[in-house]
Structure 1
Amino acid sequence: MKKYRERFNIKGIGIVTALFISVGAFILINYVIPDNLTENQERPVDHENGSVEIPAIQLPKDSLNADMVGLFVYNGKIYTQTNTKINDTDAKALKDEKLGTTKGNIDEWSKQKDDDEELASTIGEMDVYSVKGYDKDFRLMVYQRQDGNHYAEFFENLNGLTISSGKDVFGKLNLVGNVTSAHWSAFSDWDNDIDNYKPIFDMDALNTFLIELNKTKPLPREQNSDPINSSRNNEEYRELALKLNDGSTVNLTLLRDGYIYYGITDVYFEMNEGVFSMFWDQLK
């Protein structure tokens, strides 16, 4: 997971992932798509009205040497691995209607047409469920039992849509009034997998921050101008972990200049300077 985090912060949506199932265990391996393999992937579009259009994910035309994004297709939408985590016990309580079982039919040699098949995936055969309390057009869950162990992971549709404000992403996460605890980590601890998260005690400041998230301005991520590339240090970078009432943990990346990142998306968000500064003071 460390390599996943490092490469996500550098390349943004350039990350691709492959999910392999071994005997009794699930192993997540992550790589970066070379630029020459993503030429057919459309870039985000920054509209004059302030919205950002995130094109639907496409498979590389020549994917012989590329590893696939951890994804599956449901109801014509592509769902990818997310930055919200859930443990097995809480996942069982959130598991709702079974929607089907994924097909492990997308790999390095697949053609684009394979991506259009319902429940086509890069994650093998896994059961897919809707999630209680969340719109299934946004979030689904894979839940599987193997050798007495359970595996659960959220997948989200954050591509092929237009984002007008933070509400189009953060509003779907059900954050406001739903956070039971919050912790933060400095860059060096997070980057080196050191469990040194510090609690946030001022819940009023946190709730003000969460409300303001819905009003944030979306900005398209571009490799050469993405501010996260120059902010990988303890002074400018914070990892924020939000534990929700349903047991899930939402992870956000915050930069000192007022920028917020969530998951593997081609967009980040800018918050009102005054509100962000007050909350940043809690992360010291």
Structure 2
Amino acid sequence: MKKYQQRPSVKSILIVVAVMMSIGIFTLINYVPQDSTKDNQDENVEIPAIQLPKNNTNADMVGLIVYNGKIYTQTNTKINDTDAKALKDEKLGTTKGNIDEWSKQKAYDKELASTIGEMDVYSVKGYDQDFRLMVYHMQDGNHYAEFFENLNGITISSGEDIFGKLNLVGNIHSVQWRAFSDWDHDNENYKPIFDMDALNTFLKELNKTKPYLREQKSDPINSSRNNEEYRELALKLHDGSTVKLTLLRDGYIYYGIADVYFEMNEGVFSMFWNQLK
């Protein structure tokens, strides 16, 4: 069962643990917002950059790759090795696998520094390289593929700045959902959604959603971990990737470990929520 703890203060937010099960190598890293404020005039939201730790002893672990001055972390979008092969684009290099819990600060400054050992890194066909990379690797006779995304150190003004990069609109093969208890216990008890008109309206509205920084006292997910208010939505795209979103009954949407959530128009959200019962 997944364990929950109260979110730490904004000045000491730690990245959620993301485990590289097949690799067994992790890194220590802090998520420290610096001047992470909402601009009241234009309603932009600054998602704080990941700050590499000066002292590793108090940090959580996350799988990451450093590339072109950006830090890419593991994501909630998954893909199997067969479909991943078709999405491989330009090879960007091979990760160094030089970071672990004992690494010094200078280890993070190297291009393609990572926590995942030595793995080939590719750009992904159809996706912005500044947003998403993919590792593709042969291990124990099997291919291994995983996406890494840059969702930190950026400024956004609407859901389009995140959801638009996922290529959701007009690109859905199938969609399923499950309630909180099934997600919490890792039960694959998904239920299909057949109303594609309702889904397409919802996906278009995602791009218009309003972003908010997640904070300890105001984050609505803190009081919504129950079967009445919580849904996980699994969207399988035509390219074989599966995007997972968290939806809360009051109109809030979350993606991955990004330190931000989004609020949707009440009427559109309520219409789609009725499909999740």
Check 1:116–1:143 CA distance in 2 against 1; reply closer, same or farther (3 A cut).
same
Partner of 1:109: 102
Q: Paired residue for 1:46, among 38, 44, 63?
A: 38
Asked whether the 8 Å contact 1:82–1:263 carries over to 2, the reply is yes
- Name the residue aligned to 2:245: 252
Q: 1:172 & 1:56 partners in 2: Cα distance?
A: 19
Which of 85, 89, 95 is residue 92 of structure 1 equivalent to?
A: 85
Q: Which runs of 5+ in 2 are unaligned?
A: none
Query: Residue 91 of structure 2 aligns to a residue in which SS?
Result: strand
- Structure with greater helix share of residues: 1
TM-fit CA distance, 1:158: 0.7
Displaced runs of 4 or more, over 6 A: none
Matched, 1:145 2:146: no
Residue pair 2:179, 2:231 contacting (<8 A) in 1 also: yes
The more displaced of 159-168 and 9-18 is: 9-18
Partner of residue 19, structure 1:
20
DSSP 3-state at the match of 1:50: coil
User: Superposition pairs for residues 190-201 of structure 1, below 5 Å?
Assistant: 190-201=183-194
Distance across 2 between alignment mates of 1:56 and 1:39: 7
Cα distance in 2 for partners of 1:82, 1:9 equals: 22
How many Å apart are 1:90 and its aligned residue?
0.3
1:56-92 superposed Cα distances (whole Å, 9 cap, x missing partner): 2112211035443211111111100001000010001
Asked if residue 210 in structure 1 is aligned to residue 203 in structure 2, the reply is yes
Greater shift, 62-71 or 250-259, is seen at 62-71
1:131 corresponds to which residue?
124
The alignment partner of 1:142 has SS state of strand
TM-score, normalising length: structure 1: 0.89
Where 2:222 maps in the other structure, the secondary structure is helix
Are positions 1:157 and 2:150 aligned together? yes
1:23-60 residue CA offsets vs partner (Å, 9 max, x unmatched): xx445889xx8xxx848553632221211101221122
Q: Are the aligned partners of 1:64 and 1:109 in contact in 2 as well (CA < 8 Å)?
A: no
Report what 1:239 is aligned to: 232
Alignment partners' CA distance in 2, 1:268 and 1:84: 17
RMSD, matched Cα: 2.3
Contact 2:32-2:50 at 8 Å conserved across structures: no
Q: 2:254 pairs with 243, 249, 261, which one?
A: 261
- Distance (whole Å) between structure 2 residues aligned to residue 133 and residue 8 of structure 1: 37
Pick closer, same or farther for the CA change 1:63–1:215 going to 2, 3 Å: same
1:273 counterpart residue number:
266
Does the aligned pair in 2 maintain the 1:65–1:108 contact within 8 Å? no
Q: In the TM superposition, what is the alpha-carbon distance from 1:160 to its structure 2 partner?
A: 1.0
The one-letter amino acid paired with 1:58 is Q
Structure 2 distance, partners of 1:267, 1:166, is: 10
Query: In percent, how many aligned pairs have the same letter?
Result: 76
Instruction: Using the TM superposition, give the Cα deviation of residue 113 of structure 1 relative to its aligned residue in structure 2, in angstroms.
Output: 3.0
Partner of 2:219: 226
Q: Deviations over 1:170-211 (max 9, x none)?
A: 000000000111100000111111111000010000000000
Query: For the Cα contact (< 8 Å) 2:230–2:249, is it kept in 1?
Result: yes
Unaligned segments of structure 1, at least 5 residues: none
Deviation at residue 117 of structure 1 after TM alignment: 1.4
Equivalent residue in structure 2 for 1:82, among 65, 75, 80? 75
